[in-house]
Amino acid sequence: MQASEPKGPPIDLATTPVQFNSPLPKAVDVVIVGAGIVGICAAWELKKLGKSVMVCEKGRVGGEQSSRNWGWVRQTGRDPDELPIMMESLSLWKNIAGETRDNNLLFSEQGVLYLANSNEKLKRLTAFAELAKSHGLHSQLLSSSEAKKHIPNYNGDVLGGLFTASDGRVEPWGAVPALARACSNAGVAITESCAVRTIEQTNGAVSGVITEHGTIKTNQVLVAGGAWSSMLTRQVDVEFPQLSVTSYAVRIDGTPELFSGNVADHGLGICKRLDGGYNIALTDYHDFVVGPDAFAHFKSFSQAAKHSWKDTHFKINAPANYPGGWRTARRWNAEQATPFEHNRILNPATKTKVIDRIKERLHERFDDMDNARVSHAWAGYIDTTPDFVPILDETPLAGLYLATGFSGHGFGIGPGVGNVMAKMITAAPVEHDLTRFRFSRFTDGSRLKLGPM
């Protein structure tokens, strides 16, 4: 097994050649829209279950948030209803490199450390430790001195911490293409630069998809399109509340050892990379573009907005053909080019303000940072739901399934969700309670319970 040289996002469509170009079949059992971590993992599991699968990707495999995240594979801090799926996902991550014989999928068990700088945060960490214990997961509560032993050159305020040794990291920019290659070798059809324009329906059920290159007959479609998902389902009148925020990250080199794994303190998320550098992001800063979707879903997101208001920076104008923007088409017919084709890969611009704030916090909280340098910076569009947990369900249109709205928590849980969706689609037993993730929760009158951001 050979590991490629680690590279970071963003993917540049102009310089990244098409790797997957399967001819469009006339018909398959399942069409998957979106070749991010969830779509590719679902294809992998569906193929194991004997299904013929076509994955249509408008841009490049793993080109958006699946390659732009921090690389964390964590159970720590998960929503209680997500945790069982995440624990299964961790087990799948541990096995997947051996199954595919590709070191780009190697899981590094390096631990996740959460630090508490307030009594409120310490209370939340204590509650999660109890939740973890009830699921047989060992997450160790740490005193202030115990937490500081993990990060001896840290100068921030620490009242305590939570450490989960079994958590870790996978390099995100190599993982999804690697698994896609394994899928392709196993017989899954995958095509890049192939946008699905709309979904065909007959008698209230899915009967096919219309792509920019032709029609594929199928009775089952899984939409795993991240920030684009609701735009596609709107074309067949399947509406649900989803908005997107822009998050930012950098690669830092030239530092002393900050931590051997992943650490989250108040405002910083840090991940040790395979190549020795660190992925670092602000956990209390994101941009949100106010557009027609924001007004349409204002009521649904009101509770979430109160929770995250102080961390949100509002913008009025999105670039053309960005999800939720004023200048982005909301309806089209199958003969028209769509926003999916006009904007193959979401690649938001980075912000000097954010980069400077990351550097300032590093210098404030860690010793010996004089040689630290930002060697790369990038941004990504994160799909969010009003309660910060995903939709994993069949929609009112029979045969149309959704796996979207992961709210920045999707990479690590991707293999587990892929397995869940494959079983759901094939009517195999799903070992998890999916009530929390039902499509109807936004319209059935139930009170939403916010998950962790």
Domain limit, last residue, from 147, 165, 183: 165
Q: At what angle do helices 410-425 and 83-100 cross, to 10 degrees?
A: 90
The lowest-confidence range among 1-15, 18-32, 201-215 is 1-15
The lowest-confidence range among 166-170, 241-245, 303-307, 416-420 is 303-307
Looking at the structure, tell me whether residues 278 and 131 fall in a common domain: no
Sign of CA dihedral 285, 291, 293, 294: positive
CATH of the domain at 309: 3.50.50.60
Looking at the structure, tell me whether residues 300 and 151 fall in a common domain: no
Looking at the structure, tell me whether residues 79 and 208 fall in a common domain: yes
Does residue 161 sit within a domain?
A: yes
Q: How far apart are CA 135 and CA 87, in angstroms?
A: 9
Q: Give per-residue pLDDT as tens, 200-234.
A: 999 999 999 999 999 999 999 999 999 999 999 99
Contact 7, 173 (CB under 8 A): yes
**pLDDT grade for 414, boundaries at 50, 70 and 90:** very high
Looking at the structure, tell me whether residues 241 and 381 fall in a common domain: yes
Looking at the structure, tell me whether residues 139 and 218 fall in a common domain: no
SS3 state of residue 289? strand
Q: How far apart are CA 369 and CA 362, in angstroms?
A: 7
Domain limit, last residue, from 100, 132, 165: 165
Q: Give per-residue pLDDT as tens, 41-86.
A: 999 999 999 999 999 999 999 999 999 999 999 999 999 999 999 9
For residue 77, the model assigns a pLDDT of 95
Give the chain's domain count.
2
Q: How far apart are CA 201 and CA 394, in angstroms?
A: 15
Cα–Cα distance list, 86 to 74, 249, 416 (Å): 8, 23, 6
- The HSE-up count of residue 74 (CA atoms within 13 Å, CB side) is 26
Q: How far apart are CA 109 and CA 308, in angstroms?
A: 31
Does residue 401 sit within a domain?
A: yes
Does residue 139 sit within a domain?
A: yes
Looking at the structure, tell me whether residues 47 and 137 fall in a common domain: no
First to last CA, the chain: 36
Looking at the structure, tell me whether residues 88 and 184 fall in a common domain: yes
Domain limit, last residue, from 165, 183, 201: 165
Does residue 142 sit within a domain?
A: yes
Contact 205, 399 (CB under 8 A): yes
Looking at the structure, tell me whether residues 364 and 401 fall in a common domain: yes
Looking at the structure, tell me whether residues 334 and 247 fall in a common domain: yes
Which residues, 6+ apart, have CB-to-CB distance to 111 below 8 Å? 163, 164, 165, 166, 167, 168, 260, 261, 262
Q: What range does the domain containing 191 cover?
A: 30-111+166-442
Contact 114, 77 (CB under 8 A): yes
Alpha helices in 286-372 (DSSP H): 292-296, 302-308, 339-342, 352-365
Does residue 25 sit within a domain?
A: no
**Is the model's pLDDT at 5 over the cut of 60?**
no
Looking at the structure, tell me whether residues 209 and 130 fall in a common domain: no
Does residue 436 sit within a domain?
A: yes
Q: How far apart are CA 18 and CA 34, in angstroms?
A: 15
What's the average model confidence in pLDDT over 159-183? 96
Name the amino acid, one letter, at 253: D
Rounded to 5°, the CA angle 17-411-123 comes to: 155
Closest C-alpha to 396, from 206, 129, 251? 206
The lowest-confidence range among 8-17, 211-220, 387-396 is 8-17
The lowest-confidence range among 4-13, 24-33, 115-124, 225-234 is 4-13
Looking at the structure, tell me whether residues 193 and 119 fall in a common domain: no
Q: Give per-residue pLDDT as tens, 242-279.
A: 999 999 999 999 999 899 899 999 899 999 998 889 99
Looking at the structure, tell me whether residues 150 and 170 fall in a common domain: no
Does residue 18 sit within a domain?
A: no
Which residues on adjacent β-strands are paired with residue 200? 208
- Each as own residue / partner, the long-range contacts of residues 138-145 (CB below 8 Å, 24 or more positions apart, any chain) are 138/164, 138/165, 138/166, 139/75, 139/76, 139/163, 139/164, 140/164, 140/165
Residue 127 has φ and ψ, to the nearest 5°, of -65, -40
In percent, how much of the chain has pLDDT > 90?
A: 85
Does residue 12 sit within a domain?
A: no
